[in-house]
Amino acid sequence: MSETFEASQAGVHLQAVVERQNQDVLIQLIGGDVAHYGVVTTVSPTTEPQTIALPSRPGHHHQEGVLTERMAKQLKPILQSNAIIVSGVHVNYIKPEQMRAMGPLVAELSEKIGQWLTAHPREKVVEHFSK
Protein backbone atom coordinates (compact mmCIF):
# COMPACT_ATOMS: atom_id res chain seq x y z
CA MET A 1 0.00 0.00 0.00
CA SER A 2 1.36 3.43 -0.85
CA GLU A 3 0.04 6.93 -0.50
CA THR A 4 1.31 10.19 -2.03
CA PHE A 5 1.08 13.60 -0.38
CA GLU A 6 1.92 16.92 -2.02
CA ALA A 7 2.60 20.49 -0.93
CA SER A 8 3.60 23.64 -2.79
CA GLN A 9 4.76 27.09 -1.73
CA ALA A 10 6.86 29.88 -3.28
CA GLY A 11 7.10 28.00 -6.57
CA VAL A 12 8.45 24.84 -4.93
CA HIS A 13 6.56 21.54 -5.18
CA LEU A 14 7.37 18.61 -2.88
CA GLN A 15 5.98 15.09 -2.78
CA ALA A 16 6.07 12.48 -0.06
CA VAL A 17 5.46 8.93 -1.24
CA VAL A 18 4.71 6.66 1.73
CA GLU A 19 4.93 2.87 1.60
CA ARG A 20 4.40 0.35 4.40
CA GLN A 21 5.74 -3.10 5.12
CA ASN A 22 4.19 -4.50 8.30
CA GLN A 23 4.51 -1.57 10.75
CA ASP A 24 7.59 -0.09 9.06
CA VAL A 25 7.34 3.00 6.86
CA LEU A 26 9.39 4.09 3.84
CA ILE A 27 8.99 7.73 2.86
CA GLN A 28 10.39 9.28 -0.30
CA LEU A 29 10.60 13.06 0.12
CA ILE A 30 11.31 14.36 -3.37
CA GLY A 31 10.76 17.41 -5.49
CA GLY A 32 11.94 20.68 -6.82
CA ASP A 33 13.36 20.81 -10.33
CA VAL A 34 15.54 17.70 -9.99
CA ALA A 35 14.15 14.90 -7.86
CA HIS A 36 16.84 12.42 -6.78
CA TYR A 37 18.05 10.43 -3.74
CA GLY A 38 20.71 12.19 -1.70
CA VAL A 39 20.13 11.41 1.98
CA VAL A 40 18.70 8.62 4.10
CA THR A 41 17.36 9.22 7.62
CA THR A 42 16.17 6.48 9.94
CA VAL A 43 14.08 6.87 13.10
CA SER A 44 11.91 4.72 15.37
CA PRO A 45 9.76 5.38 18.42
CA THR A 46 12.77 4.54 20.62
CA THR A 47 15.69 5.98 18.61
CA GLU A 48 16.79 9.41 17.52
CA PRO A 49 17.09 10.21 13.81
CA GLN A 50 20.30 9.11 12.11
CA THR A 51 21.22 10.50 8.69
CA ILE A 52 23.60 9.48 5.94
CA ALA A 53 24.33 12.15 3.31
CA LEU A 54 25.59 10.88 -0.03
CA PRO A 55 28.08 12.78 -2.23
CA SER A 56 26.46 15.35 -4.51
CA ARG A 57 29.39 16.77 -6.47
CA PRO A 58 33.14 16.79 -5.84
CA GLY A 59 33.78 17.98 -2.29
CA HIS A 60 30.09 18.26 -1.35
CA HIS A 61 27.37 16.13 0.20
CA HIS A 62 23.60 16.43 -0.13
CA GLN A 63 21.97 18.76 2.40
CA GLU A 64 18.41 17.38 2.52
CA GLY A 65 19.14 15.91 5.96
CA VAL A 66 17.84 19.19 7.35
CA LEU A 67 14.46 18.30 5.84
CA THR A 68 14.44 14.58 6.62
CA GLU A 69 15.47 15.08 10.24
CA ARG A 70 12.69 17.62 10.69
CA MET A 71 10.21 15.11 9.28
CA ALA A 72 11.64 12.30 11.43
CA LYS A 73 11.29 14.34 14.63
CA GLN A 74 7.73 15.31 13.77
CA LEU A 75 6.70 11.72 12.96
CA LYS A 76 8.59 9.93 15.74
CA PRO A 77 5.81 10.22 18.39
CA ILE A 78 3.23 8.49 16.18
CA LEU A 79 5.37 5.77 14.58
CA GLN A 80 4.49 2.16 15.31
CA SER A 81 7.95 0.92 14.29
CA ASN A 82 10.82 1.97 12.01
CA ALA A 83 10.75 4.76 9.46
CA ILE A 84 13.21 5.28 6.63
CA ILE A 85 13.10 8.64 4.90
CA VAL A 86 14.93 8.92 1.57
CA SER A 87 15.16 12.37 0.08
CA GLY A 88 16.41 14.42 -2.81
CA VAL A 89 15.14 17.93 -3.44
CA HIS A 90 16.90 20.35 -5.78
CA VAL A 91 15.56 23.70 -6.90
CA ASN A 92 17.61 25.25 -9.69
CA TYR A 93 18.82 28.75 -8.81
CA ILE A 94 16.94 28.61 -5.51
CA LYS A 95 15.73 31.97 -4.17
CA PRO A 96 15.77 32.95 -0.48
CA GLU A 97 11.96 32.78 -0.22
CA GLN A 98 12.04 29.26 -1.67
CA MET A 99 14.69 28.22 0.85
CA ARG A 100 12.51 29.63 3.66
CA ALA A 101 9.50 27.70 2.31
CA MET A 102 11.20 24.31 2.75
CA GLY A 103 10.58 24.07 6.51
CA PRO A 104 6.85 24.84 6.31
CA LEU A 105 6.46 22.49 3.32
CA VAL A 106 8.07 19.61 5.20
CA ALA A 107 5.98 20.40 8.28
CA GLU A 108 2.81 20.31 6.16
CA LEU A 109 3.76 17.00 4.55
CA SER A 110 4.73 15.52 7.92
CA GLU A 111 1.35 16.54 9.33
CA LYS A 112 -0.46 14.86 6.41
CA ILE A 113 1.64 11.70 6.76
CA GLY A 114 1.08 11.63 10.52
CA GLN A 115 -2.67 11.92 10.10
CA TRP A 116 -2.67 9.12 7.53
CA LEU A 117 -0.50 6.81 9.67
CA THR A 118 -2.70 7.45 12.70
CA ALA A 119 -5.85 6.73 10.69
CA HIS A 120 -4.36 3.54 9.18
CA PRO A 121 -2.47 1.68 11.93
CA ARG A 122 -1.08 -1.75 11.17
CA GLU A 123 -1.55 -4.85 13.24
CA LYS A 124 1.90 -6.25 14.03
CA VAL A 125 2.68 -9.43 12.14
CA VAL A 126 4.28 -11.84 14.60
CA GLU A 127 7.76 -12.98 13.61
CA HIS A 128 8.96 -16.48 14.47
CA PHE A 129 12.63 -17.39 14.71
CA SER A 130 14.48 -20.70 14.56
CA LYS A 131 15.92 -22.03 17.79
**Longest distance between any two alpha carbons in the chain, whole Å:** 58
Name the percent of the chain lying above pLDDT 90: 95
Q: How far apart are CA 45 and CA 33, in angstroms?
A: 33
Each residue's pLDDT tens digit, 59-100: 999 999 999 999 999 999 999 999 999 999 999 999 999 999
C-alpha span between 1 and 69 (Å, rounded): 24
The pTM assigned to this predicted structure is 0.94
- As beta bridge partners, residue 47 has 44
Predicted confidence band at 1 (pLDDT cuts at 50, 70, 90)? confident
- Domains of the chain: which residue ranges? 2-119
Report the distance separating Cα 97 and Cα 10, nearest Å. 7
CATH topology of domain 2-119: Ribosomal Protein S5; domain 2 (3.30.230)
